[in-house]
Every structure is written in C-alpha cells, then in structure tokens.
C-alpha cells in the first residue's frame, strides 16, 4: 500500500464503464483472505486490511491496486 495516496470513496467507480470493469474483481474474497492472514499469521498488515475493507461496497481500481 502506497502511504502517499489518500484512499477515499471519491476514488470509487462513478461511470458505468468503471463499474462494469470492477464487477469481476474478487475484492470481497481478497479482503477476507487478507483478514484471515492478519488475524492468524500476519498482524503487521492489519492496518492496511482495515483501511481497504472500508471500500468493500464500492471498490475502485485504486483500492484494488493497493490491495495487490
């Protein structure tokens, strides 16, 4: 996660094309997997997971790239 980027809901998809692009992205599954890792083996990623989980309802490509 890039610390110089401020993540907000403004970066969520707004156009129909952006929404269609993000439909096939497994964002919820990735958040769940990272949450499991944060709780069981990697407590150092807890902050990143908590920030990115705030955008679970409408994640944008910026949020997805931060997760990768």
DSSP of 25-57, one letter per residue? --HHHHHHHHHHHHHHT-GGGHHHHHHHHTTSS
User: Does 20 map to a domain?
Assistant: yes
- pLDDT (tens, 9 = 90+) of the chain, 68 residues, equals 677 788 888 788 888 888 888 888 899 999 999 999 999 998 988 988 998 898 888 898 888 888 88
Domain of residue 50, residue span: 9-67
What's the structural domain count of the chain? 1
Closest residue by Cα to residue 59 from 24, 6, 22: 22
pTM metric for this prediction: 0.78
11, 22 Cβ separation under 8 angstroms: no
Q: Is 48 domain-assigned? A: yes
CA distance 52 to 68: 11
């Amino acid at each position: 996660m890039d610390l110089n980027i401020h993540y907000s809901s403004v970066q969520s998809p707004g156009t129909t094309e952006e929404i269609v692009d993000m439909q096939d992205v497994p964002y919820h599954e990735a958040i769940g997997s990272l949450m499991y890792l944060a709780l069981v083996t990697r407590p150092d990623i807890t902050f990143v997971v908590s920030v990115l989980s705030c955008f679970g309802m409408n994640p944008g490509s910026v949020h997805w790239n931060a997760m990768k």
